[in-house]
């Protein structure tokens, strides 16, 4: 159940333009799963700027130490404020929130596809898969090398494939070094290999994933491909309706009904 918690920054480090913050928040660690997010107040106690809480995915959990790890890029003023805070700073959190990924206990091969701000959620999903002895491959793409999530933050057993040739270069990783001209009918060896897929991609890249899955898997059972949709989720409860998205079942809130959706339920799926 979501709750308001005051967490403490234990450590803050940057790797290129990616930041990692470790929070001491023992009240939250037991209930967090991959795909859950926190709403964080990113302002000094006497300030209301920025007014709205920022949604950030949980990238790691250590229940013994009572800590959470978050990965983020300080691209807007809320995250810029967070990046400036030293160890010992208290943070006002609300969470964990949202519908997480569902990992089948029969899964032995997991393909992760991450672009943009939600990649941290895939780090936590990779850890869950390794605990059930699954093989894990992570594909990720960014406009520059210093925006790629650091591979050394992942367990060594995860096979990491990253591209700094732009976010759309995720297609190169899916199809190989030379993507086919007609992606609508081209198959992907990685998708054929995977028992399940966990992804986080912006809407404009969702069609790349949909085309590859459709062409490769003639039968797509529910739960095979799940997508975490990042973005602003101001209230976390579905009350403000600011994060509505269109699905095959009508309008749904990203913050409460998601942020993880089955690929088959999205319009492009």
pLDDT single digits (tens) 158-186: 999 999 999 999 999 998 865 666 665 66
Q: What is the pLDDT of residues 225-247, one digit of tens each?
A: 999 998 899 999 999 999 999 99
101 pLDDT above the threshold of 60: yes
Q: What is the pLDDT of residues 22-75, one digit of tens each?
A: 999 999 999 999 999 999 999 998 888 888 999 999 999 999 999 999 999 999
Beta-carbon contacts of 236 under 8 Å, excluding residues fewer than 6 positions away, are: 2, 39, 53, 55, 94, 95, 97, 98, 255, 256
Domain spans, the chain? 3-97, 109-265
Q: Mean pLDDT, to the nearest integer, of 92-103?
A: 97
Full-model pTM: 0.94
Q: What is the pLDDT of residues 112-131, one digit of tens each?
A: 999 988 999 999 999 999 99
266 pLDDT above the threshold of 60: yes
pLDDT of residue 185: 60
Q: What is the pLDDT of residues 129-165, one digit of tens each?
A: 999 999 999 999 999 999 999 999 999 999 999 999 9
Distance CA 213, CA 215 (A): 6
pLDDT of residue 219: 76
The domain covering 3-97 belongs, at the CATH homologous superfamily level, to Translation factors (2.40.30.10)
3-state SS class at 264: helix
Residue count (the chain): 269
Q: Considering only the C-alpha atoms of the chain, give the largest distance between any 2 of them, rounded to a whole number of Å.
A: 56
Candidate from 184-193, 204-213, 234-243 with smallest mean pLDDT: 184-193
Q: Do 120 and 72 contact (CB within 8 A), yes or no?
A: yes
Fold of 109-265: Rossmann fold (3.40.50)
Distance CA 206, CA 77 (A): 27
| Strand 67-72, strand 54-62: pairing | antiparallel
């Amino acid at each position: 159940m979501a709750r308001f918690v005051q967490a403490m920054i234990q450590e803050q480090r940057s790797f290129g333009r990616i930041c990692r913050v470790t929070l001491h928040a023992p009240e939250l660690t037991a209930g967090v799963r991959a795909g859950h997010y926190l709403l964080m107040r990113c302002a000094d106690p006497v300030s209301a700027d920025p007014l709205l809480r920022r949604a950030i995915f949980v990238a790691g959990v250590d229940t013994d130490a009572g800590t959470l790890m978050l990965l983020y890029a300080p691209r807007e003023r809320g995250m810029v404020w967070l990046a400036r805070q030293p160890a010992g700073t208290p943070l006002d959190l609300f969470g964990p929130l949202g519908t997480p990924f569902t990992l089948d206990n029969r899964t032995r091969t997991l393909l992760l596809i991450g672009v943009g701000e939600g990649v941290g959620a895939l780090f936590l999903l990779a850890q869950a898969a390794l605990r059930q002895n699954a093989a894990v491959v992570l594909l990720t793409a960014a406009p520059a090398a210093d925006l790629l999530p650091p591979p050394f933050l992942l367990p060594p057993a995860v096979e990491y494939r990253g591209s700094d040739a732009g976010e759309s270069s995720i297609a190169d990783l899916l199809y190989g070094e030379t993507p086919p001209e007609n992606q609508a009918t081209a198959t992907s060896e990685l998708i054929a290999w995977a028992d399940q897929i966990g992804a986080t991609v912006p809407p404009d890249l969702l069609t790349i994933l949909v085309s590859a899955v459709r062409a490769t898997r003639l039968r797509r059972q529910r739960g095979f491909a799940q997508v975490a949709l990042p973005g602003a989720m101001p209230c976390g409860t579905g009350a403000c309706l600011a994060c509505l998205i269109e699905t095959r079942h009508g309008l749904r809130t990203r913050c409460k009904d998601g942020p993880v959706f089955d690929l088959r339920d999205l319009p492009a799926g």
